[in-house]
Structure 1
Amino acid sequence: MGVKPAIGRKSNKNPPIFSHEFVIQNHADIVSCVVMVFLVGLMVQSTSPIASLFISLHHNVSGVEPTREAPKGEQFLYEAGWKDACAVFFYSLVCIVMHAILQEYFLDKISKKFHLSKSRLSALNESGQLVVFHLVTLFWGGDAIMREGFIFNISKLWDAYPDHPMSFLLKLWWIVQAAYWLHTIPELYFQRIKKDEWAARIRHAAAAFAFVAAAYGFKFQRVGVCLVVLHSLAEFVAHSYRLNNILRGEREDFLDKFLGLVNGSVFVVVRLCSLVLGVLTFYFGLAGAAPLLLRVAALSVLVTFQVYLMYNFISETIKQRQESRQLAQSRPKKEKKEKPKKEKVKKAPVEESDLPEVDQNTNKTLRQRQAAVKAK
């Protein structure tokens, strides 16, 4: 007995229930059913407190609902707490469903249209998912930064630390960030990622989740959202450039050079801005407000991470230039070998004469007259 998949990887075969293939093909449907259980539980009075623990945001420190006396009410502000782990779990399930929808209705159709190889298909799926995620992170986080006024008053990043309550949108943004990187671990199994790629992707997800958890737990949410938005900008451009290379091939045309220049420029600017923002916040802004050990540790991690990314970027750029030079050097050699062959075929015997051009024309005229006389 088997069930055909509705969302996710489709197959003509119907695998047995509870088999690995069945779970992989129907994982989005299974997870969406679990999500529906939580949503239905929120509507039932007896299970509503348990369901709201996973769906709603908790640990609010202020806020008043609208009333007749105060129609606008008062904005709800939140802080970090242990109940946020339940919300991270629930929204990680939502991320799995959204991942499957994006894979099924967009990325799979693109891969079928371009007939990509297995390696390019894996890169397309990875970059396609990350482009969407970083784009959402960029706009959502940028909107939160604008609403909180961090750009026009940068001192808000460290003023009144550690009393930094979050708005609803900002806290939900942090919850979704943690949930996304958490959901990437089971996706390695659901998307049939090769085992040799697991280690690199798990390290990437673990590092991102650790950064989000540390910034959220140590109440660095304000400077953290700025750093994550900057990083997402660079990652969005980088994965867009990677998608261009995957779909169009490695063409050395104007578009490829332009996107490469934009990618490099944005990457360097983001790294410098992150370092400047980190030094301003952790070294100067939080001086006296946060423990010295915590400030030094946070700044050290940030600087080390930026240097590591810069080193990898420079190494990759040098490697690509060396490969392009080798290709450029190999092309002229082929042309030189082909030229003599073409000349031998095209060349025809030509009679050469030491006489001037006028005398040569005179000889031609005499020969033509002699031929005409003989013909008569």
Structure 2
Amino acid sequence: MAFRRRAKSHPLFSQEFLIHNHADIGFCLVLIVLIALMFEVTAKTAFLFILPQYNISVPTTDGELVQYHYGLKDLVTILFYIFIAIILHAVVQEYALDKINRRLHLSKVKHSKFNESGQLVVFHLTSLIWCLYVVVTEGYISNPQSLWENYPHVYLPFQVKFFYLCQLAYWLHALPELYFQKVRKEDIPRQLQCIALYLVHIAGAYLLNLTRLGLILLLLQYLAEFFFHMARLVYFTDENNEKLFNVWAVVFVVTKLFTLTLYILVIGFGLPRVENQALEPEKGNLFSFLFNHILFRMSVLLLVCLFQASVMWRFIHFQLRRWREYWHEQSSRKRAAACAKQPAKPLKRDSGYHENGVVKAENGTSLRTKKLKSP
């Protein structure tokens, strides 16, 4: 981490220098922003990086409530938390995963997958607890109708907006980490696809003012992903232990069923009941205005259903292949065990016994040997 001793120094501004010191560089940039908070001249600019912007006071029966909406200044805040995510990534890698890897002595392929799953386990567990806290305190679980009531949800509580900004920052930080962590070329397309899907879904929920639905869906998604990557970590430590994969399979199916049900409930039945909203870009409902049209809603719902169906198909195909390999391995073990238990056939010997290297008959006389013709 920052200011630690290194066994080997690299030329300044070289590629190896950037890779080995990217966390320290990010730490210095974050430190500059924090120091800027101490001076009145730069404090206002520094707050753009740290705190969410576009706050507004909404009158309520109890007084005024400060809420937020999105805008271009959010990109500055996201940039700051990208550096925070890079620093935390390096801390987890150096002080946890690298120490475990030294004990396990994994191959290069398993080493890369272990690091990937280790990072995602920490992230998914943290996001899972944080997301659960938000949906419980905001009452989205106790009152499911709040997922579509008073749509579009232009104004967000502080913790909801901050959660979305941090989520976007984490998945954006994963792009340069592919370079910093020297990910194998074979794994880059798969990881880019995963990062792109998360960014599209999270940014889509944020810009289309579907943040309440997005929180519930992220909660379900992170729950399944946590069990999957946890099962991979357990498998790398003990290849005979695959029980957690069975738990992940059950959780995956249940969460996907809930996900599809929520999509149909909110987009198919909940949003059509909301009164049509006029197009008012100054209020931030520029994109959510599209959901007033049934053609757009049904197109989004169809795309979501097709995507979830493709995910389920890949999952079923993976499980069938895994079960075939399992039963093939079990049948091979049974055949090997049966062959080991089968008694060996006795060799057919000449009658009599051996004495001084000569075969004797039972009466003691030597057996007549055939003469061999010389070639």
Same fold (TM over 0.5): yes
CA contact (8 A) 2:85 2:170 kept: yes
**CA distance, structure 1, for counterparts of residue 254 and residue 10 of structure 2:** 51
Letter in 2 for 1:242: R
Aligned to 2:231, which of 235, 241, 245?
241
Contact 1:184–1:205 (CA under 8 A) maintained in structure 2:
yes
| Conservation of the 8 A alpha-carbon contact between 2:50 and 2:77 | yes
Which of 125, 142, 146 in structure 1 is aligned with 2:115?
Answer: 125
Counterpart for residue 321 of structure 1: 323
What amino acid does structure 1 have at the position aligned with 2:31? M
The residue aligned with 1:349 is none
In structure 2, relative to structure 1, the CA distance for the partners of 1:336 and 1:271 (3 Å cut) is same
Code of the aligned partner of 1:264: A
Residue in 2 that maps onto 1:334: 336
Aligned match for 2:96, one of 106, 113, 134: 106
Map 1:79-90; keep pairs closer than 5 Å: 79-90=69-80
Distance of 1:55 and 1:63 partners within structure 2:
23
Partner of 2:140: 150
Q: Which residue of 2 aligns with 1:39?
A: 34
Query: Which of 225, 231, 241 in structure 1 is aligned with 2:215?
Result: 225
Hey, which of these two has a bigger chunk of helix by percent?
Answer: 1
User: 1:313 corresponds to which letter in structure 2?
Assistant: F
TM value normalised by structure 2: 0.82
Q: 1:57 aligns with which of 49, 52, 62?
A: 52
**2:161 corresponds to 1:171:** yes
> What are the Cα deviations for residues 300-325 of structure 1, in whole angstroms up to 9, with x where unaligned?
33222321221111111111111112
Question: Residues 32, 297 of structure 1: CA spacing in aligned structure 2 closer, same or farther, 3 A cutoff?
Answer: farther
Instruction: Provide the secondary structure at the position in 1 that maps to 2:66.
Output: strand
Give the unaligned 5+ runs of structure 2. Answer: 275-290, 348-375
Task: Give 1:51 deviation, angstroms.
Answer: 1.8
Task: Please say which of residues 155-164 and 39-48 is displaced more in the overlay.
Answer: 39-48
Q: 1:84, CA displacement in angstroms?
A: 1.1
8 Å contact kept, 1:282–1:295: yes
1:13 aligns with 2:8: yes
How far off its partner does 1:73 sit? 7.6
Residue identity in the other structure for 2:125: L
* Alignment-derived partner of residue 252 in structure 2: 267
TM-score by length of structure 1 reads: 0.82
| Counterpart-to-counterpart distance in 1, 2:34 and 2:64 | 27
- Choose the corresponding residue for 2:271, options 259, 272, 286: 286
- Count residues with an aligned counterpart: 328
SS in 1 for 2:37: helix
One-letter identity of the residue aligned with 1:224: G
Instruction: Please give the per-residue CA displacement for 1:223-269, whole angstroms capped at 9, x wherever unaligned.
Output: 11111111111111111111111111134xxxx33x23321111111
| 1:83-110 deviation digits (Å, cap 9, x = unpaired) | 1111111111100000000000001111
* Structure 1 unaligned regions, length at least 5: 65-71, 346-376
Output the amino acid matched with 2:251. V
